[in-house]
């Protein structure tokens, strides 16, 4: 691990200000992804801003029967919360489908959204990766791309976002509350948080320098069933090859793009009375494989149909 | 924590001195490089070698310890971030002079071969049973609304998936955990 300086933030605004002043800084929340990447020297911050003392771990029910989840609430705490289990089962299911018991006790809600890709080439400093080293090239294009994106990829990057939580939040129309380096607060839809790679895959979100996620806000659940289905190489403790979150008439797809992929074409097809199969095909008409991951298009078609039918009961 | 230490940590530092509570005893770490993980601090600074370093990337679970009663991977946590926390390692799991019931069950069921993953397995299983007692669900839980799901074999396997055993003593580990948990 490269040397860094360590500091404790005393407030969210203090953390943002410090990060805004130090372009090489990283926030430390659960650290389960960041410390792993720091050991590999893929992340090499010169300043770690530890958020541990900030009172941002509460999970509150809002007056309108939605939720406000503090950015430091752990995956375990969110998945075990009675209101989440009763009214937002898609969220509990998504969290329980990820990582291990140990990791879920440490990994936070904000950190979950900010985690980096699991693309093998991002993790391998011996291979070119535009996300790790802008301009270096992308070894995944011609390499082992079995788990690469099928939506929204570019010639610079075909990596996917690994979060299950973000996929469920997208289907729930959730947003994040942030505080910026100048102290300004704002709200951003989860669907608008992450960027597609384009020519700058190293810029992964629309957050500004130093901007900190302080909470995730989930509006009241829409009527209709909620389902999270995930397919992976092992039945436990593995990243997804494809996942689907359904919350009422809203559908989001995981492990297929650099962001949770909101399936608006499928939703529109269902609203027009089309079948789940037709809805899946409407969405997947735009999907493109790059060789090793072509199977994900068929896999996702079947998974979407199964999840939509399950949600309809 | 003294005022001086608090002040030090509100200014960026590359070394820090602070206290932890390990297995019920206050332990002090002096001038520790802030890069030091909780795992390395336990093993190298505090001499508690029961907690093992396997993959060092949060994938194998050999470094599992309890922080505030919750199991975590000590390899993916900075020691300095645990200032003041109560940590229990395999050395502190048992009462003086007696094995923890899980330790006895692992012996009885021969739930290891090389033994390297065993401290992590046992710490993980102890905390896993506490999580289940609290009613926490898992991926295997059919009814999320149920206050506490039956602890089936499938539940135990799922809840223990963060601990790998390269000798593949999984059937015996399941039997040992089952012995302590009681019938589903």
Domain boundary among B49, B73, B93: B93
Residues A257, A192: Cα–Cα separation, whole Å:
14
pLDDT at residue B5, rounded to an integer: 56
Residues A111, B51: Cα–Cα separation, whole Å:
26
Residues of chain B that touch chain A, judged by Cβ-Cβ distance less than 8 Å: 9-14, 16, 34-35, 37, 56-58, 61, 64, 70-73, 76-78, 80-81, 124, 127-128, 131, 134-139, 141, 144-145, 157-163
φ and ψ at residue B4, rounded to 5 degrees: -65, -45
B38 lies in the same domain as B20: yes
Q: For residue B59, is it within any domain?
A: yes
Which has the closest alpha carbon to A164: A250, A239, A232, A88?
A239
The DSSP H or E segment spanning B159 is: helix B153-159
Mutating which of A5, A6, A28 best tests the B interface, going by the most B Cβ atoms within 10 A?
Answer: A6
Across the interface, whether the CB atoms of B34 and A7 are under 8 A apart is answered no
A233 has pLDDT over 60? yes
Q: Which two tokens stand for residue A273?
A: 């009375």
Window 61-90 of A: residues touching B by CB (8 A cutoff) are 76, 79-80, 85-86, 89
Of B10, B34, B144, the CB nearest to A89: B144
pLDDT above 70 as % of chain A: 100
Total of domains in chain B:
2
Q: Which two tokens stand for residue A166?
A: 């973000």
Q: Which two tokens stand for residue A67?
A: 């939720």
Which has the closest alpha carbon to B40: A50, A35, A51, A4?
A35
pLDDT at residue B97, rounded to an integer: 80
Residues of chain B contacting A86 with CB distance shorter than 8 Å: 144-145
Domains of chain A by start residue, with CATH: 5-50 (3.30.43.10), 59-114+160-312 (3.30.465.10)
Across the interface, whether the CB atoms of B12 and A31 are under 8 A apart is answered no
Which has the closest alpha carbon to A37: A261, A155, A204?
A204
B47 lies in the same domain as B107: no
**What is the residue range of B63's domain?**
15-93
Residues A51, A16: Cα–Cα separation, whole Å:
11
Q: Does A188 touch chain B (CB under 8 A)?
A: no
Q: Which two tokens stand for residue A73?
A: 């609430």
Residues B143, B150: Cα–Cα separation, whole Å:
10
Q: For residue B3, is it within any domain?
A: no
Q: For residue B67, is it within any domain?
A: yes
The Cα of A9 is separated from the nearest Cα of chain B by a number of Å equal to: 7
Across the interface, whether the CB atoms of A105 and B71 are under 8 A apart is answered yes
A76 has pLDDT over 90? yes
The Cα of B128 is separated from the nearest Cα of chain A by a number of Å equal to: 8
A69: which residues sit within 8 A by CB, 6+ positions away? Answer: A59, A78, A109, A215, A216, A217, A218
pLDDT at residue A307, rounded to an integer: 98
Mutating which of A9, A25, A38, A101 best tests the B interface, going by the most B Cβ atoms within 10 A?
Answer: A101
Per-residue H/E/C for B75-139: HHCEHHHHCCCEEECHHHHCCCCCCCHHHHHHHHHCCCCCCCCHHHHHHHHHHHHHHHHCCCCCC
The DSSP string of A72-88 is T-BHHHHHH-HHHHHH-
Pairing of strands A25-28, A47-50: parallel
- Mean pLDDT computed over A98-102: 98
Across the interface, whether the CB atoms of B58 and A47 are under 8 A apart is answered no
Contact B103, B97 (CB under 8 A): no
Q: Does A11 touch chain B (CB under 8 A)?
A: no
φ and ψ at residue A245, rounded to 5 degrees: -110, 130
Number of helices (H), then strands (E), belonging to chain B: the values are 7, 5
* CATH number where B131 lies: 1.10.150.120
The Cα of A31 is separated from the nearest Cα of chain B by a number of Å equal to: 6
Of A6, A31, A79, the CB nearest to B16: A6
> What are the tens digits of pLDDT across the range A154-210?
999 999 999 999 999 999 999 999 999 999 999 999 999 999 999 999 999 999 999
B105 lies in the same domain as B165: yes
Across the interface, whether the CB atoms of A80 and B137 are under 8 A apart is answered yes
Residues A208, A241: Cα–Cα separation, whole Å:
30
- Mean pLDDT computed over A278-288: 98
Q: Does A108 touch chain B (CB under 8 A)?
A: no
> What are the tens digits of pLDDT across the range A235-260?
999 999 999 999 999 999 999 999 99
Residues A169, A171: Cα–Cα separation, whole Å:
5
Residues A18, A27: Cα–Cα separation, whole Å:
10
DSSP state of B21: E
The Cα of B25 is separated from the nearest Cα of chain A by a number of Å equal to: 22
Local confidence pLDDT in tens for the 184 residues of chain B = 444 455 557 799 999 999 999 999 999 999 999 999 999 999 999 999 999 999 999 999 999 999 999 999 999 999 999 999 999 999 999 877 899 999 999 999 999 999 999 999 999 999 999 999 999 999 999 999 999 999 999 999 999 999 999 999 999 999 999 999 999 8
Q: At what angle do helices A295-312 and A264-271 cross, to 10 degrees?
A: 40
Q: B130-165 as b/e, with b when 16 or more CB fall inside 10 Å?
A: ebbeeebbbbbbeebeeeebebeeebbbbbbbbbbb
Residues A311, A104: Cα–Cα separation, whole Å:
26
Residues of chain B contacting A4 with CB distance shorter than 8 Å: 14, 34-35
* CATH number where B79 lies: 3.10.20.30
Residues B138, A95: Cα–Cα separation, whole Å:
9
Residues A73, A70: Cα–Cα separation, whole Å:
5
Domain boundary among B93, B127, B161: B93
Domain boundary among B93, B122, B150: B93
pLDDT at residue B9, rounded to an integer: 72
Strand partners, A212: A179
Q: What's the sign of the alpha-carbon dihedral B46, B34, A111, B62?
A: negative
pLDDT at residue B10, rounded to an integer: 78
B113 lies in the same domain as B172: yes
Q: Which two tokens stand for residue B130?
A: 């506490």
Residues B144, B123: Cα–Cα separation, whole Å:
26
Q: For residue B4, is it within any domain?
A: no
Pairing of strands A47-50, A5-8: parallel
What is the overall mean pLDDT for chain A?
97
The DSSP H or E segment spanning B32 is: strand B25-33
Residue of B nearest to A8 (CA): B10
- Mean pLDDT computed over A9-36: 97
Residues B163, B111: Cα–Cα separation, whole Å:
13
> What are the tens digits of pLDDT across the range B86-124?
999 999 998 778 999 999 999 999 999 999 999 999 999
Residues of chain B contacting A39 with CB distance shorter than 8 Å: 56-57
The Cα of A72 is separated from the nearest Cα of chain B by a number of Å equal to: 14
């Amino acid at each position: 691990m490269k040397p860094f300086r360590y500091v404790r933030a005393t407030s969210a605004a203090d953390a943002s200000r410090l990060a805004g002043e130090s372009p090489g800084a990283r926030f430390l929340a659960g650290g389960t992804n960041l410390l792993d990447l720091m050991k590999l020297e893929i992340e090499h911050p010169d300043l770690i801003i530890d958020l541990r003392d900030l009172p941002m771990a509460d999970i509150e029910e809002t007056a309108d029967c939605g939720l406000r989840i503090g950015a430091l609430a752990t995956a375990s705490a969110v998945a075990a919360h009675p209101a989440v289990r009763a009214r937002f089962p898609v969220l509990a299911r998504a969290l329980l489908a990820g990582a291990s018991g140990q990791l879920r006790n440490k990994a936070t809600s904000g950190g979950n959204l900010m985690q980096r890709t699991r693309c093998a080439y991002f993790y391998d400093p011996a291979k070119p990766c535009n996300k790790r080293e802008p301009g270096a090239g992308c070894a995944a294009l011609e390499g082992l791309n079995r788990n690469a994106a099928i939506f929204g990829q570019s010639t610079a990057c075909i990596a996917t976002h690994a979060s299950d939580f973000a996929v469920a939040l997208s289907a729930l129309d959730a947003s994040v509350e942030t505080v910026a380096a100048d102290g300004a607060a704002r709200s951003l839809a989860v669907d608008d948080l992450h960027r597609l790679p384009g020519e700058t895959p190293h810029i992964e979100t629309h957050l500004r320098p130093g901007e900190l996620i302080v909470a995730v806000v989930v509006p009241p659940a829409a009527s209709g069933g909620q389902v999270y289905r995930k397919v992976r190489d092992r039945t436990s403790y593995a990243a997804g090859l494809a996942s689907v979150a359904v919350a009422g008439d809203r559908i989001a797809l995981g492990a297929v793009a650099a962001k949770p992929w909101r399936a608006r074409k499928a939703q529109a097809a269902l609203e027009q009375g089309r079948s789940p199969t037709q809805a899946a095909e409407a969405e997947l008409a735009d999907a493109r494989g790059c060789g090793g991951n072509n199977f994900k298009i068929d896999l996702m078609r079947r998974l979407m149909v199964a999840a939509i039918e399950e949600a309809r009961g | 924590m003294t005022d001086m230490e608090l002040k030090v940590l509100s200014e960026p530092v590359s070394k820090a001195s602070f206290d932890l509570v390990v297995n019920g005893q206050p332990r002090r770490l002096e001038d520790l490089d802030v890069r030091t993980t909780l795992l390395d601090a336990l093993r190298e600074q505090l001499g508690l070698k029961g907690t093992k370093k396997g993959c060092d990337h949060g994938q194998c679970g050999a470094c599992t310890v309890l922080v505030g009663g919750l199991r975590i991977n000590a390899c993916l946590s900075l020691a300095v971030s645990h200032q003041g926390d109560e940590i229990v390692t395999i050395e502190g799991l048992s009462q003086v002079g007696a094995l923890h019931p899980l330790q006895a069950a692992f012996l009885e069921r021969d739930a290891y071969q090389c033994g390297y993953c065993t401290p992590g397995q046992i710490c993980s299983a102890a905390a896993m049973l506490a999580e289940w007692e609290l009613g926490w669900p898992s991926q295997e839980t059919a009814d999320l609304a149920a206050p506490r799901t039956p602890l089936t074999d499938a539940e135990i396997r799922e809840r223990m998936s963060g601990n790998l055993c390269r000798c593949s003593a999984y059937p015996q580990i399941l039997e040992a955990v089952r012995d302590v948990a009681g019938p589903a």
